[in-house]
Amino acid sequence: MRVPEGFRIDLARRVQSRLAAKVAEEPLGDFDVVVGLDVAYRGDVGISAAVAYSVREGRAVGYSCSANMVIFPYVPTLLSFRELMPMVRALRRLTVRYDLIMVDGQGVAHPYGLGIAAHLGVVLGAPTIGVAKSRLFGEIVGDRLVDPRNGKVIGAVVKCRRPLYVSIGNRVTLDDAVRAVRTLCADGGMPLPIQLAHNKANELKRSVAAASFDKWGEAGC
């Protein structure tokens, strides 16, 4: 999707800056149910999946999804504006109570301090963690990601069969984020809740072509 004529990137940047300032770092404490979130695309449709996984029970305990017409263009470092609505809509359909959300994407390890995990966490006021397969921003110093502009630690590198770039989304500490990722590390190389959400979102891509969208651009899945 091309950036439409008249699209105001500067306004999106202002919103991004204001929301980044609202990210809270606080201890998470004990947790059990962790929701993994991911979005897959088929053309201009984003299919989001939310899978709730219980650490104590060692199994998925809930699942929801949402298919959405994409209304925000792809703009580097503004991906969260594109994926926020599909993720929120999938979470809205989830009937299981959860303690933590893990997102396949960046948290504060982002040039503007607001990747999708941070954006989602601030909007919902929920504990969130960003778990990315590739490094978007920051220099690696040992097992930490450091902002080259000021030396601030903004994330960590965690081995889960592959290096993962983990950062705070909202209402967790970096130590909490690392602990949660290590606890849920799976054979597929991602934390299990995210891996399950990824698999489900991609599975649903095959059926979305027949979906009937409502006036808000959402369809069941």
- Chain Cα centroid distance, residue 153: 20
205 secondary structure, DSSP code? T
Q: Which residues contact 90 (CB under 8 A, 6 or more apart)?
A: 37, 48, 49, 50, 64, 65, 66
Confidence class of residue 209 from pLDDT cuts 50, 70 and 90?
low
Mean pLDDT of 115-120: 98
Reading the block at residue 59, the tokens are 């199994």
Return the residue matching tokens 């999946």.
49
User: Is pLDDT larger for residue 10 or for residue 168?
Assistant: 168
pTM above 0.75, yes or no: yes
Parse the chain into domains and list their residue ranges.
Answer: 30-209
Long-range CB contacts for residues 11-16, cutoff 8 Å, separation at least 24: 12/75, 12/78, 12/81, 13/78, 13/112, 16/78, 16/80, 16/112, 16/113, 16/114, 16/119
30-209: CATH topology: archaeoglobus fulgidus dsm 4304 fold (3.30.2170)
DSSP H helical ranges for 106-146 = 116-124
Q: Are 219 and 212 in contact (CB under 8 A)?
A: yes
Confidence class of residue 1 from pLDDT cuts 50, 70 and 90?
very low
CA distance 46 to 56: 32
Average confidence score pLDDT of the chain: 93
Confidence class of residue 210 from pLDDT cuts 50, 70 and 90?
low
CA distance 92 to 121: 14
Q: What phi and psi, each to the nearest 5 degrees, are found at residue 220?
A: -70, 165
